Structure 1
Amino acid sequence: MNALPTLDVTPRQARAPMRPSVVARDDIRVLTSVEVGGELHHLGEHRDFRRHPALAGFLPEHGRLSLAWVRLRDGERLDVHDHPTKSAVLVCKGSARLVGDCEQTLAEGDTVCVPPGARHGFETLPGEEFHGLSVQFEGAGLYEDEQGPRVRFTEAASAAYADLERHNAERLRRYGQHRLFAPFDDGRVGRDPALRRRFLSALYVWSVYFQRMLLARQAVCADERLRELYAGHLREEFGHDVLLRERHGVDTGVYDPVLEAAGHWFLMQMHGADEAAKIVIVHLVVESSCDVFGRRTRVAFPHSGAPDESYFDLHAAVDEDHSRIGRDHLKSLSPAQFPELIKVCDRAWDQLELAHERIAAHLLGPA
């Protein structure tokens, strides 16, 4: 006779309970940008719950719900975009501006309901951060597949950024025609030690201000991510004024009140401008000019040793990369911010050309 199956009659209270578990937001891997149509778009911080194994195992696959923590810091923007599935965004902390088909200031506790195909984006208000929860109700999350995101970005922000790049490229082209480069192109500086000494003495003044500019920016930057980005740049540039003085025999710098004033302008922008303007000044303008400057002037200072032993060879080698720093931050901005950044770009080029005009004056005499 077969035995009957044993029934579990243990009272529910006596069974080992299932314990709640906690997953910290910072333990979910962060995604900060995504490539769509060959173009990189800034997301702020996006933390899809399914990027954490415990949460991925907890969320049901049937009646599939997708959730992600999202965050924008002060001055950041998620460009206007649309997607094929409905979505909701809950404002958990801070505030933001909803942009696109509907424009409205959001506050803590607000819920944004986004139908399929609706154009929308978010930008932070001055001095504010935005923390939210993004929810999709059908299928995969918008950025769950990082190589195939379910979004389509509109063109406005990309076009505004492209306008800034084009404007800067035109100023860089004009800078390449500066009279400072003529005596290098025709070989006069390479043949005349006295010209080289005069040039180096004036250049040393500008080199010291460049170092002070980077140190000031590093000291006052409140954004942790940008501070880390700037720190890498500072490490690669630190001490180049000393390299110029020691490797190229600079005894002393000249005193020129106009050159000093132009140098001070760059230094003071690091204390008063916002981070976007600083990126335009330091990287779009100064580092782009340094790339041209290094390539055009190094011919007068031939060096057979390692590139990092020559001020001119070093700048010719690394400044093109330095000019690309901060581009992702600029791409995250609202289109409305770019007209002012183009003005900043012009002012920085004007001051830079003024500084180099004074260096040319010490080299060649007044124009």
Structure 2
Amino acid sequence: MTITSELTSMPAPAAPLDLSPPSRATAVSRSDIRAITSVEVNGETHLLGEHRDFRRNQALSAFLPEHGRFSPAWVRLRNGERLEVHQHPTKSMVMVCRGSVRFIGDDERQLTEGDTVCIPAGARHGFATAPGEEFHGLSVQFEGAGLYEDETAPRVRYADAGSAAGAGAERGSFAELQRLGAERLRRYAERHPLFRPFDDGRIANDPRMRERFLSALYVWSVYFQRMLYARQSVCTDPVLRELYADHLREEFGHDVLLRERHGVTETVYDPALEAAGNWFLMQMHGADEAAKIVIVHLVVESSCQVFGERTAPAFADRTADTTSYFELHAEVDEDHSELGMDHLRSLAPEQFPALMRVCNQAWDQLELAHERIAAYLLG
């Protein structure tokens, strides 16, 4: 079965968890996963029956992957309980593990043990049990955080919300896209393996590691320049074309700065790094302008600011009278990440689910590129 869904955020965990994966097999009881039974959206409380997100358990959260992230949760309704019709911004799959339940919304049918529902982003859907009926299921989201992983910021919009709340939810679509970008940026800053050699001091004390890092980074820097050239060459919107031109003028030649200022001489070829770089380049030829703004500014430029701040200390040269590649990006990329946001604010609400998918895809590709740089610098 197929449906369609929209809206909300990429919430952070309520408290820091030990993210070290277990070194031995670990059994986790369903009762060890904290349950919630309701959630507040736009000031209204909505009943969930029983919802147990796997990432509310420390052992499961440490075991589940962050890259290519998916989010499973146990769900239960019984004795006439109902999950009202709602929408969310990520595709979801619900599997009936025991009992039966009525699937409601844009499509309706009775589901029994073994049935699976595939719910695309934007679909209006819900579930309802009859008196005496019970349903146990597994709900899985395949893009980012679980729907109620952070119950203080649920990634849902309910169809039965009042008109004022509903209008607020629509106007909040840009805010939800920003929150998604901010959450992916937080995870990148806190968990990406590229930063470990910088944080523990290895790269500052190993000249060969520094050389390998600079050579691999140069490949990514050249792709970024090519992205900006490509975007500029095909843009037909006069306002955005001028905006892009200003950005290109400020970024022009940064690959040359990296090569000459930091003495890059080694040639690097890594197929995964090339594939990720080409993904970004191809989006500049095929995506619409809103998607390009998300990719270049909400994702790449946002990451560049964190990247510059985390890596600059390892390449600091107080005797030099010129700014390093890393210091430059730590200084200017905060402003660059804000370019094009007015254009995104002007979009219709129905455009944001697709932009949120693009945002996740761009972050996945960027993290892949930086994982390959990390792998190369470590030899």
**What is the TM-score when the length of structure 1 is the normalising length?**
0.56
Q: 1:258 aligns with which of 272, 288, 306?
A: 272
Distance 2:273 2:321 in 1: 28
Q: 1:161 aligns with which of 174, 179, 187?
A: 174
Letter in 2 for 1:168: G
1:175 alignment counterpart: 188
- Tell me, yes or no, if structure 1 residue 359 matches structure 2 residue 368: no
Residue deviations 1:215-261, cap 9 Å, x none? 00000000000000111110110000000000000003300011001
Q: Go from structure 1 to structure 2 and tell me whether the alpha carbon gap of 1:158 and 1:242 turns closer, same or farther (over 3 Å shift).
A: same
Q: 1:268 aligns with which of 250, 267, 282?
A: 282
1:312 alignment counterpart: 326
* Matched-pair contact (CA < 8 Å) for 1:290–1:319: yes
Q: Go from structure 1 to structure 2 and tell me whether the alpha carbon gap of 1:156 and 1:215 turns closer, same or farther (over 3 Å shift).
A: same
* Matched-pair contact (CA < 8 Å) for 1:157–1:333: no
1:220 alignment counterpart: 234
Specify every segment of 5 or more residues in structure 1 that has no aligned partner in the other structure, as ranges: 1-153
**What is the TM-score when the length of structure 2 is the normalising length?**
0.55
Aligned-partner SS, 1:292: helix
TM-fit CA distance, 1:281: 0.1
TM-fit CA distance, 1:164: 0.5
1:83 alignment counterpart: none
Letter in 2 for 1:355: A
Distance 1:301 1:253 in 2: 20
TM-fit CA distance, 1:276: 0.2
Larger gyration radius, structure 1 or structure 2: 1
Distance 1:206 1:221 in 2: 23
* Matched-pair contact (CA < 8 Å) for 1:157–1:331: no
Residue deviations 1:2-55, cap 9 Å, x none? xxxxxxxxxxxxxxxxxxxxxxxxxxxxxxxxxxxxxxxxxxxxxxxxxxxxxx
* Matched-pair contact (CA < 8 Å) for 1:247–1:310: yes
Letter in 2 for 1:174: R
Aligned counterparts, 1:1-367, within 5 A: 155-176=168-189, 177-304=191-318, 309-365=323-379
TM-fit CA distance, 1:304: 2.4
Q: Go from structure 1 to structure 2 and tell me whether the alpha carbon gap of 1:327 and 1:306 turns closer, same or farther (over 3 Å shift).
A: farther
Letter in 1 for 2:172: A
Distance 2:315 2:170 in 1: 43
Over the matched positions of the two proteins, sequence identity in percent amounts to 73
Cα RMSD (Å) = 1.6
* Matched-pair contact (CA < 8 Å) for 1:212–1:267: yes
Q: Go from structure 1 to structure 2 and tell me whether the alpha carbon gap of 1:238 and 1:306 turns closer, same or farther (over 3 Å shift).
A: farther
Residue deviations 1:136-178, cap 9 Å, x none? xxxxxxxxxxxxxxxxxx5344310111011111111111110
Letter in 2 for 1:350: D
Distance 2:321 2:246 in 1: 19
Distance 1:305 1:320 in 2: 26
Distance 2:331 2:282 in 1: 28
Q: Go from structure 1 to structure 2 and tell me whether the alpha carbon gap of 1:305 and 1:323 turns closer, same or farther (over 3 Å shift).
A: farther
Q: Go from structure 1 to structure 2 and tell me whether the alpha carbon gap of 1:249 and 1:206 turns closer, same or farther (over 3 Å shift).
A: same
Aligned-partner SS, 2:269: coil
Aligned-partner SS, 2:316: coil
* Matched-pair contact (CA < 8 Å) for 1:204–1:253: no
Specify every segment of 5 or more residues in structure 2 that has no aligned partner in the other structure, as ranges: 1-166
Distance 2:337 2:321 in 1: 19
1:24 alignment counterpart: none
Aligned-partner SS, 1:309: coil
Aligned-partner SS, 1:317: helix
* Matched-pair contact (CA < 8 Å) for 1:283–1:323: yes
Distance 2:281 2:200 in 1: 33
Residue deviations 1:165-201, cap 9 Å, x none? 1111111111111011011011111111111000001
Letter in 2 for 1:198: R
1:32 alignment counterpart: none
Distance 1:249 1:341 in 2: 38
TM-fit CA distance, 1:307: 8.1
Distance 2:185 2:178 in 1: 10
Distance 1:313 1:297 in 2: 9
